[in-house]
A and B are shown apart, each in its own frame.
Chain A
Amino acid sequence: MIDRVPFSIEDEAKSLAASNAEASPEITEIWWFPDNEEIRLIEVDSTLPGSDEISPYCFPPDPIGGVHYRIAIALVKPEEKALPVPEGWVGWDEAQRVFEREAA
């Protein structure tokens, strides 16, 4: 039961975002789209090939890696932030930027 998980989904989302940013220097921003049951992130990478949709990759929880919720991660180019977010996600206006890389 999700409501018994004693871990903060926001804390885990931010930790996951920090790991992803560290692993991939191409990522310039990460946005967290709040949800009670799933960690939802959109990660911005200007080097990607273009796409006409935002399609998240879904993962099961990874308790060994410190993630106790389902995970959905989408990769987008900066200009693709204008595309509709995945169905059921809150809009960009409710999303929180949890990582921004400083310009070199």
Chain B
Amino acid sequence: MSDQWDKAYLRQASSDYEVFRQLLSMPVPPCHQLHYLQMATEKLAKAFLSANARGRRQPNKHESLVHFLNSVDAHDAVRRAFGYESKSQQMAFLRSIMPIARAIEAVYPKALDAPNLEYPWESSGRVLCPRDYDFTDLHLTGRESIPVLRFTRFIEQCLKTAEAW
């Protein structure tokens, strides 16, 4: 069995994240920007989880980001790269971005008739489409984006840290 899944997850996460950054500067519906951010964060999380499991393949499920955030203290390289003077400072920051992580993880197309980034769903007799939907907790306009940008700053630091493996 191959033990290089961590590097492959990371390579794809970096590529997905680059596309997210490009889409951010374009006037496209936010579902597309968020979809790439979602894919990047899922694979980044799997890269770290795989690295902690000797490079083994991770379960084929979407929910890995929140699990990774909850276990990030186990990753010494991440903790060092963050540059926090105390563990409590790091934990406070992680708590502050957790709502965004949960919101991103919640919009996978895992359930019928629930808002998600990819497929139409039905609500109160109306069929709704991701491209027309306002993902309230995940605003990405210049005026309302700061909570998401604080989260993406964390993602970028994790990518840089992992690329130094």
Contact = CB atoms under 8 A, between A and B. Distances in A.
Contacts of B25: 58-60, 70
B81 interface: yes
A3 B58 CA distance: 53
| Residue among A20, A45, A57, A71 with most chain B CB within 10 A | A57
Contacts of B89: 47
B144 A49 contact: no
Contact of B142 (A27, A39, A50): A39
B5 interface: no
What interface size band does chain B fall in?
20 to 34
B124 to A, nearest CB: 25
A49 B153 contact: yes
Contacts of B147: 23-24
Given A60-B25, A60-B27, A48 B153 contact: yes
A55 B84 CA distance: 20
Please classify the interface of chain B as helix (H, G, I), strand (E, B), loop, or mixed, using the class held by over half of its residues.
helix
Interface residues of A, number: 29
A24 B143 CA distance: 11
Contact of B83 (A19, A50, A73): A50
B143 A49 contact: no
A91 B89 CA distance: 31
B154 interface: yes
Contact of A73 (B92, B145, B157): B145
| Residue among B83, B143, B156 with most chain A CB within 10 A | B143
A66 B143 CA distance: 9
Nearest to A23: B146
A71 B157 CA distance: 22
Contact of A57 (B21, B143, B144): B21
Contacts of B146: 20, 23-24, 27, 43, 73, 75
A59 B142 contact: yes
Contact of A65 (B141, B149, B150): B141
A62 interface: yes
A16 interface: yes
B107 interface: no
5 contacts: A26-B150, A58-B25, A65-B143, A73-B149, A75-B149
Given A16-B142, A48-B150, A51-B153, 13 more contacts: A20-B146, A23-B146, A48-B153, A49-B81, A49-B93, A49-B157, A59-B25, A60-B25, A62-B142, A65-B142, A67-B142, A70-B25, A75-B150
